[in-house]
Each structure stands twice: as C-alpha cells, then as structure tokens.
Amino acid sequence: MTIDTARGAVPDATGHFGSFGGRFAPEALMAALDELAREFETAKHDPAFTAELDGLLADYAGRPSLLTEAKRFSAHAGARVLLKREDLNHTGSHKINNVLGQALLTRRMGKTRVIAETGAGQHGVATATAAALLGLDCTVYMGEVDTERQALNVARMRMLGAEVVPVTTGSRTLKDACNEAFRDWVASVENTHYCIGSVMGPHPFPMMVRDFQRIIGVEARRQCLELTGSLPDAVVACVGGGSNAIGAFHAFIPDESVRLLGFEAGGDGVATGRHAATLVGGSLGVIHGMRTYLLQDEDGQTQETHSISAGLDYPGVGPEHAWLRDSGRAEYREITDAEAMDAFSLLCRTEGIIPAIESAHALAGALKAGAELGPDATILVCLSGRGDKDMHTAAGFFGLISEDRGGTSGPAGREGNAE
C-alpha cells in the first residue's frame, strides 16, 4: 500500500509534530488548506485513488526503484553501502513520487492548474511532467540565481509546457521562489493547487508530502532485508527541505537499532556563516507557514544561505525533521561543498553513477558514517537524484571543460585553484 501511515503517529490533527509544524498561513488560504487536508484524508482511503497512484508509480515513474550495492564505493567508506536509486525514477529524482500524488489530488479537487517552487529544478521538472501527463496548466517559480545555475532544467520544464518564472526578489533562490508561489496561490487558489515540493509549508503539506515519499523507505527496508537478511545499521540522506530524507527515514523510525542520519548543506562550513545547515546552525522560528528551525538573524530576519547545491540552498527545514532532531531519533550534521564534491567525484569513478550534488551530500555523509560504524556495518544511502543537471557546476568545480580550465581532464582544480 503506497501511502499507509500506520507506523507514523504524528502529526496531530492540526499538523503539529511536537511543537513544530502547524499552520502559519494567511486566512485567505485556510479554506484551501482545509479542503486539501480533507481531500487527502479521503483519497488515501479510496482504493481507486491509491490504485491509480500505484499504477503511475509502477508504470510511469518506474517504481520500485532499485537497491544497488555499491561495492567499490564501499571500499572507500569502510562499510557496506547500499544505494536506494531514486535517480532512476522518471525525471531523475525522488520528486516524482510526491508530484504524481499531488497532481492526482489536484484533478480530484477539480482544479486545473498547478504551481510549484523549485531550487535545483528537480521538483519543477517533476511538476511540469505530471502536469503534462494529466493535462494541467503549470507555472514554476525559480530563483533567478537558480535559473542560471540550472539552465538545463529550465529548458526541460519549458519543453514540457510549463511556464517558468525567474524570481528576482530577495536572495533570488529557493526561499524567494516559495514566497512568489505563495503570492500566486493566494490570488489563484480557486482553480490552482500549490504543489509544494518538500515536507514543508503549512499543514497538511509536511504530512502529505511525507506520506507520498515514504515509499522510498518502505521499499528500501524490504529490499535491504531481502538482500542482506537484516536491517541496515544506518539510513543516510541529504536534507534541504527534507523530503527525500523523510521518505527514506519514515519506515525505519520504529526500528530503534537503525540510526537515521541527515546531512545538511554546510557550504563553506557552518563556522563561516556561508551555509544552509538549518538543523545544525539554526534556531526556532516560523517560515513559509510552519514552525521549525531556520537560519535567522537577531531580529528574526531570514539569513541568506549558501550551498553549491541549489536544491539544499534553503534557510528552513521540514517540521518533522525538527521534531526528529529534538526527540533524538535522528541526527543531523553538515557536509561542506568540498566534501560533497569529493563524494560526487568518488561515486562517478567507483560506481559509474553520476549523482545529483544534493545526493552527494548524503554520499559524503556515508563516508563519514562508514568510518565511525566500521566494516561490519550496512549503510543505506538515499541517492535522491541524478547529476546530469549539475554538469555545468561540476565542470566548473573540477575544471573539466576547456574554456573554463584550459583543457584539464581530471579533478585537478578545486575551488578555483588550478594546481
């Protein structure tokens, strides 16, 4: 069953994970949020809805995704590493799991248009894809900075028939794209569904997106048992808003022996202030409709974030992660840009898999966890997406393209240093 939530006791009826989450939203959206919560509750118990979603996940998105044993990468990690291959889904990331569910809900609610925010473009591409499939109009908001560093995904979305709106306000990244999507939604809510791409926003989004993404962990848990005969010692994922991580973690929450490790974007290092590691370096507050940890200054103004990964470049985090952190069930740490890019390169060269830079943070986390847990440990890594979209960034970082780096053929250059 795709969206069974029997193993999760949170959130409460008004969307609180402990003291986190809730609904800090304009009154104009309350009716739509109530409608969405009701519709989702009905739909997940409606066999016709779940059958249609399961059918799309299997025959369109390509689920179940594979579990690949990464033997050569494991040698570097010093532990047995298994990769949950969300990169092999249609559109190249885990985002499709959530988007297909929300697109079906959109149609069920009689709405004809979806809007979305996107950082790296993975969620935007997935939304544009589902909109094309179901015949919905689609507008995607994307920070102008991100439209530049993820130009390929902008082209993909436009090919799929979506309107892509570059957002030029604020820091011109993911958080500003969220603001703009909310502004659109307040004015268009009658015929439009805001297809939020992560486990964030006002209730019921964090719960609903989790329920659509938890299939990652449900499959991986079964696959790991089949392959190894036991549960993994740790489940590892990258955390921006946190949807692939919640998806990977959720089925394992009751398995107390399994450590849940989330890796946030450490940018240049949390100590430098140039990072997006919300749970490591943030404080309590309210952003984008939810109470959670966020990066803010002493006046409660949102701080600018930095990450080489557009998809993790966000100053908030899903409220369930805040709750998992405070309850001690999951641990969150930072991975710097440089550590992520090392792991990116390593997976390419040891396994022939080019990961998304977001997912490379999880891989770098697995290398650290392996060193701690030792050779007998099994580490399940959520490989949330593929890295085709990141070739421009990677080429610049490693100096792979002649115009950037005078014809260097290997990973010689780091952080602009050619030697």
Partner 1 sequence: MSAQTAYDKAKAEGRAALVGYLPAGFPTRDGAIDALKTMVDAGCDVIEIGLPYTDPMMDGPTIQDAVHQALVGGVRVADVFRTVEAVAATGVPTLVMTYWNPVDHYGVDTFARDLASAGGAGLITPDLTPEEGGAWLEASDAHGGGQGLDRVFLVALSSTDERIEKITGVSRGFVYAASLMGVTGARTAVDTGAPRLVERTRAVIDKAGTGLPVGLGLGVGNGAQAAEVARFADGVIVGSAFVRRLLDAPDLASGLAGVRALTEELAEGVRATR
**Residue range at the interface with partner 1 (CB under 8 A); choices 113-121, 280-288, 336-344, 384-392:** 280-288
**Residue range at the interface with partner 1 (CB under 8 A); choices 134-142, 171-179, 228-236, 377-385:** 171-179
Considering only residues 12, 19, 26, 272, which one is a binding residue for partner 1 as defined by CB under 8 A? 26
Query: What's the rounded Cα separation, in Å, for the pair 361 and 265?
Result: 7
DSSP 8-state class, residue 214: T
Nearer to partner 1, 290 or 394 (CB): 290
Minimum distance, C-beta of residue 284 to partner 1, in the bound complex (Å): 8
User: In the range 29-68, which residues lie near partner 1 by CB under 8 A?
Assistant: 29-32
Nearest of 179, 121, 129, 178 to residue 154 by alpha carbon? 121
Minimum distance, C-beta of residue 266 to partner 1, in the bound complex (Å): 22
Query: What's the rounded Cα separation, in Å, for the pair 132 and 92?
Result: 16
Query: What's the rounded Cα separation, in Å, for the pair 359 and 363?
Result: 6
User: In the range 172-211, which residues lie near partner 1 by CB under 8 A?
Assistant: 175-176, 179, 182-183, 186-190
Candidates 86, 117, 180, 320; catalytic one? 117
Indicate if the alpha-carbon torsion angle 167, 169, 170, 175 is positive or negative: negative
Minimum distance, C-beta of residue 122 to partner 1, in the bound complex (Å): 23
Indicate if the alpha-carbon torsion angle 348, 126, 311, 149 is positive or negative: positive
Query: What's the rounded Cα separation, in Å, for the pair 320 and 96?
Result: 21
Residue 193 has φ and ψ, to the nearest 5°, of -110, 135
Nearer to partner 1, 232 or 282 (CB): 282
Residue 385 amino acid letter: G
Residue 187 amino acid letter: A
**Residue range at the interface with partner 1 (CB under 8 A); choices 41-49, 293-301, 325-333, 409-417:** 293-301
Query: In this structure, what is the dihedral angle of CA atoms 19, 24, 30, 35, given to the nearest 10 degrees?
Result: -50
Considering only residues 59, 299, 376, 415, which one is a binding residue for partner 1 as defined by CB under 8 A? 299
Q: Which residues are catalytic?
A: 95, 117, 384
The residues that touch partner 1, with contacts defined as CB under 8 A, are 14, 22-32, 169-170, 175-176, 179, 182-183, 186-190, 283-289, 291, 294, 296, 298-302
